[in-house]
């Protein structure tokens, strides 16, 4: 496996977790009267807060199990593992910023943000299926399952709003 493929695989936890967070924020956004700029800020700050919470949780759990304090290296290691969560915010945030800049309608911004998030879920679903089986059909089923989770969140949003 190439170094780049290894990095993509290692980022999976953070990216998937961050993507589910993004889908949750988008699901909680009332599209009838939303501001794309505020939504972009909300998306990025929420995912950043999740990344920081994950870092803090990892550090606290390690301190409890080891009985030792934290070194700069342990803090850096926890952040390196958690920061991949931010990758998930990039596409949806940029989609919202495009809507805020007037490049397209705010409704289009919401759709593009959801497509970006869904695309990440489908990509990692494909990646998981391909790595486990090495075959195309299981990779497709896995991509559909991951994408289905994202679509379920989107459907929940539309049912609630």
Sign of CA dihedral 16, 20, 22, 23: positive
Place of tokens 């919401």: 110
- Segment-wise mean pLDDT, segments of 10 residues, the chain, 161 residues: 80 87 87 89 94 92 86 87 90 96 95 93 90 88 87 74 62
Does the pTM surpass 0.95? The reply is no
pLDDT on residue 133: 87
pLDDT on residue 68: 81
pLDDT on residue 158: 67
User: Are the C-beta atoms of residues 118 and 151 closer than 8 Å to each other?
Assistant: yes
pLDDT on residue 157: 64
Exposure string (b/e) for 28-47, b if CB count within 10 Å is 16 or more?
ebeeeebebeebbebbbebb
């Amino acid at each position: 496996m190439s170094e780049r493929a290894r990095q993509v695989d290692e980022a999976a936890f953070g990216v998937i977790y961050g993507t589910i967070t993004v889908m949750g924020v988008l699901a909680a956004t009332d599209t009838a009267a939303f501001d794309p700029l505020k939504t972009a800020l909300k998306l990025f700050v929420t995912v950043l807060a999740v990344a920081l919470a994950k870092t803090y949780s990892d550090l606290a759990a390690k301190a409890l199990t080891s009985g030792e304090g934290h070194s700069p290296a342990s803090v850096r290691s926890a952040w390196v593992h958690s920061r991949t969560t931010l990758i998930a915010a990039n596409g949806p945030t940029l989609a919202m910023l495009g809507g805020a800049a007037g490049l397209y309608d705010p409704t289009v911004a919401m759709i593009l943000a959801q497509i970006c998030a869904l695309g990440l879920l489908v990509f990692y679903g494909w990646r998981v299926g391909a790595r486990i089986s090495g075959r195309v059909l299981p990779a497709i089923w896995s991509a559909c399952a991951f994408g289905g989770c994202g679509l379920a969140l989107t459907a929940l949003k539309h049912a609630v709003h």
